[in-house]
Amino acid sequence: METVHLKINNIPVEVPQGYTILQAAKAANIEIPTLCYLKDINCIGACRVCMVEAQKDGRPLRGLLAACVYPAEEGLEVFTNTPAVIKSRKTTLELLLSNHNKKCLSCTRNQHCELQKLAAEYGVDEDRFPSEEPIYEIDDLSPYIVRDNNKCINCMRCVAACKNV
Amino acid sequence: MGALTEKSQEDKVWEAIADPTKQVLFFTAPSIKATLGEAFDMPIGTNVEGKMAAAIKRLGANVKAFNMDFTADLTIIEEANELVQRIKNGGTLPMFTSCCPGWVKFVEHYYPEFLPNLSTCKSPQAMFGAVLKGYYCQKNGIDPKDVFVVSVIPCTAKKFEATRPQLRSDENYDDVDVALTTRELARMIKRAAINFTDLPEEDFDAPFNKATGGGIIFGATGGVLEAALRTAARLLDGDFKKIDFEEVRGPEAVREVTYEVAGVKINVAVTSGLGNARMLLEKIKKGEANYQMVEIMACPGGCINGGGQPTRSDSVSNYVDYKALRSKALYDLDKNSELRVCEESPIIKMVYDEFFETPGAEKAHHYLHTSYVARSKYYT
């Protein structure tokens, strides 16, 4: 099996070719936060929470990379927690929350919510981008399932689960 | 993020518990004991059967907690008998399991030509409803209108199943009044301020308190087929000894095995996830496979990974094999059970002696079997 060598937060890592940065980081026991990623089911780089900084041959790569889809390359040096990365994640979360119904207290996901958890960890200002009033009608046509698109963050996980499982 | 949730039916149950004229009869599906603990921060795969029974009994003085593993045993008695009859009498084969309501409705919508292949056996949830409003009420002289039947299931589709008119053993009422997910039961326990982790281990209420290993493994993919094989093989060959059919257990996407019992070849297949189900059905349609029995669960891994189970964080979903940990709890229980073949259960003997007569008998058929309907592909 062909492998590639890279560094993540200065830690040397050797992983099989074809691994993503996210998988390589996991192999080195380094956590990178994700929202839309579902192993083997949804891997589309949609939420932009897993962004990392990287350089190759001493030169920084342009922009940030989505770790869940960017391949681990030979000689890549990845940094998962730089000020630029943290600022990007925080702004991304604030943007996600700008059109998210934030009534956490009455949400069934309260205290079991990945978005809520990351928002707390990154110290977001939930009102940095003021939200509009809820715009989607709640769909409770089914007798047993409720769909509230005002809480949807376009992670596409439900679509992927229906398509790929 | 809370965009998709089940409609909570907890309030209906609280109302019934508050009604002194009602007996509230709970029963919990095989997989719940392996998952409910997670809602109380216990390690994944902890068996909390004793605490779960204790918690349900503490929800109200008129509440009883029964063990649905018993009707999993009952399902197998009927289903294994049906399989043997189909094999002997040239009935429609392969026979498909019918315990998973997501799978059943999938066939009704997308593959109605396979409806005759679905076992006519009701699911364990539906059988328990029929046992309670039929046998139990009659035996104890209770008007079925005075009991409120609550199933606890790992599944949002079971909420739909409970309202299927084809499952009514009396046309005037549903056999199961409310189906609660594992998450809803956990919320009820929390709202009742019951300190779950500190509860003593208690037994389920008699008479439906015990089951065999065959009923317990219903909660994991391959479990229904394995339990059915244990019983069917003994129907074909009275001296059959094998109990563990490890070949049909997870985690491969599709498991295909051939067994030979008393000169009869039995080809079986197991899969879970509707994508895999579609693939298997297409294979059967094209004549590329020749099975006698097929087990399909809509959720990958079976009920232990059902849509009503406690939610997990991404770090668990993506990096911990929680399906293996949860199913291990069930297979460990099976391994350590004194009785592992469904017909060995004394409760099974009791309900047939006192009520259902024999497997497949007319009375058993009325209460324990059902029918299906072809549905359109589109919501109308």
Above 70 in pLDDT, residue B379? no
How confident is the prediction for chain B on average, in pLDDT? Answer: 96
What's the whole-number mean pLDDT along residues A11-23? 97
For the cut 90, the answer to whether the pLDDT of residue B378 exceeds it is no
Handedness of CA B296, B251, B52, B42 (dihedral sign): negative
pLDDT for B380? 59
Domain with A37 in it: 1-165
User: How much is the pLDDT for B278?
Assistant: 96
A and B: number of Cβ contacts within 8 A = 76
Using CA atoms, how far residue A23 sits from A7, A60, B348, B356, in Å, is 13, 21, 50, 56
A34 to chain B: which residues are within 8 Å by CB?
A: 314, 318
Neighbours of B339 (CB within 10 A): 17
Using only C-alpha atoms, chain A has a radius of gyration, in whole angstroms, of 18
Q: Which of B6, B274, B317 sits opposite A145 (nearest CB)?
A: B6
Percentage above 70 pLDDT, chain B = 99
DSSP codes, A30-73: -----SS-BTTTB----S--SEEEEEETTEEPSS-EETTTSBP-
Integer CA distances (angstroms), A19 to A22, A32, A56, A81, in order: 8, 15, 17, 20
Report pLDDT digits (tens) over B125-142: 999 999 999 999 999 999
Strand partners, B265: B260
Task: Answer whether A139 touches B (CB < 8 Å).
Answer: no
Query: Is A62 an 8 Å CB contact of chain B?
Result: no
* A39 and B CB contact within 8 Å: yes
> Quick one: pLDDT band at residue B362, thresholds 50, 70, 90?
very high
Rounded distance between C-alpha atoms, residue B223 and residue B249, angstroms: 7
Q: Can you tell me the distance from the alpha carbon of B305 to that of B158, in angstroms, rounded to the nearest whole number?
A: 14
- Read off the CATH number of the domain in which A93 is found: 3.10.20.740
Residues of A in contact with B7 (CB under 8 A): 140, 142-146
Given an 8 Å threshold on Cβ–Cβ distance, is B313 in contact with A114? yes
Q: Which of B35, B311, B60 is nearest to B188 (CA)?
A: B60
- Which of B274, B275, B317 is facing A38, going by the closest CB pair? B317
A25-51 pLDDT, tens digit per residue, is 999 999 999 999 999 999 999 999 999
Q: Could you read off the pLDDT of A106-163 as tens digits, one per residue?
A: 999 999 999 999 999 999 998 899 877 768 999 998 888 999 999 999 999 999 999 9
| CB-CB under 8 Å, A107 with B3 | no
DSSP assignment of B152-202, as one string?
EES-SHHHHHTT-GGG-SBTTB-S-SEEEEHHHHHHHHHHTT--GGGPPP-
**pLDDT given for residue A132 in this prediction:** 72
Domains of chain B: 10-306+315-368 (3.40.50.1780)
Q: What is the pLDDT of residue B198?
A: 97
**Which residues of chain A are within 8 Å of residue B300 when distances are taken between CB atoms?**
165
Question: Over the stretch B185-241, which tens digit does the pLDDT of each residue have?
Answer: 999 999 999 999 999 999 999 999 999 999 999 999 999 999 999 999 999 999 999
CB atoms within 10 A of CB B266: 19
- Per residue in B67-120, pLDDT (tens digit) is 999 999 999 999 999 999 999 999 999 999 999 999 999 999 999 999 999 999
Residue B53: in which H helix or E strand, if any? helix B49-57
Q: What is the mean pLDDT of residues B335-363?
A: 97
**pLDDT tens, residue by residue, B273-310:** 999 999 999 999 999 999 999 999 999 999 999 999 99
Question: Distances from the Cα of B159 to the Cαs of B151, B152, B162, B274, in angstroms?
Answer: 9, 10, 5, 19
- pLDDT score of A1: 83
Q: Measured between CB atoms, which of B2, B160, B319 is closest to A109?
A: B2
CA max distance for chain A: 58
A155: Cβ–Cβ under 8 A, 6 or more apart, which residues? Answer: A35, A36, A42, A46, A47, B1
Predicted pLDDT of residue B1: 76
Three-state SS at B142: coil
> In the predicted model, is pLDDT for residue B8 greater than 90?
yes
What pLDDT, on the 0 to 100 scale, is given for residue B67?
Answer: 98
Position B68 scores a pLDDT of 98
Total structural domains within chain A? 1
Interchain pair A165, B275: CB under 8 A: yes
Identify the band that residue B333 occupies on the pLDDT scale cut at 50, 70 and 90.
very high
Closest CA to A136 of B131, B372, B3, B23: B3
